[in-house]
């Protein structure tokens, strides 16, 4: 496996939206529709750092599902059509606006995690203990 220093940083937009490796831009990010590969077949980058969680679904719900449901409600209120009209209009529109964006959004979030070196948050207990020490309190009082 090669070091990250050998690779020029690539934009998360150009790599993630295309489903490419965030380090080399050549390898594939996905193994299937939404399942991440274990690593890049070109540069060997281990994708275990990636955890987009529910991010793609959240963005799709906010920016695609809400307008799709609003369209269905508008059709119902204005035209009061039979159920089959919704099955032919609202349902396909909702599926087309909600499912296709999931993969590019997940790729973008994974590539952004790599690009910005995002990781699990930790608490630095040494700083917290030092701030509560009597010496730190005395320093704060003398500075005032």
User: Does position 129 have pLDDT exceeding 80, yes or no?
Assistant: no
Higher-pLDDT residue of 144 and 98 is: 98
Tokens linked to 89: 């209009």
**Alpha carbon 105 to chain centroid distance?**
6
Residue range 33-52, pLDDT digits in tens: 999 999 999 999 999 999 89
Chain centroid to CA 2: how far?
25
Dihedral in degrees, nearest 10, Cα atoms 85, 87, 90, 94: -170
pTM of the model: 0.78
* Interval 61-109: pLDDT, tens: 999 999 999 999 999 999 999 999 999 999 999 999 999 999 999 999 9
- The pLDDT of residue 132: 62
Q: What are the structure tokens assigned to 132, written together?
A: 């509560």
């Amino acid at each position: 496996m090669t070091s990250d220093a050998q690779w020029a940083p690539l934009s998360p937009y150009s790599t993630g939206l295309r489903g490419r490796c965030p380090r080399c831009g050549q390898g594939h990010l996905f193994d299937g529709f939404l399942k991440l590969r274990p690593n890049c077949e070109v540069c060997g980058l281990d994708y275990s750092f990636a955890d987009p969680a529910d991010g793609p679904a959240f963005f799709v719900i906010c920016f695609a599902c809400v307008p799709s449901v609003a369209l269905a409600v508008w059709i119902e209120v204005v035209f009061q059509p039979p159920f089959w009209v919704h099955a032919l209009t609202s349902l396909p529109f909702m599926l087309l606006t909600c499912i296709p964006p999931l993969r590019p959004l997940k790729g973008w979030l994974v590539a952004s995690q790599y690009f910005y070196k995002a990781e699990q948050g930790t608490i630095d207990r040494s700083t917290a203990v030092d701030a509560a020490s009597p010496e730190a309190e005395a320093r704060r009082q003398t500075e005032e």
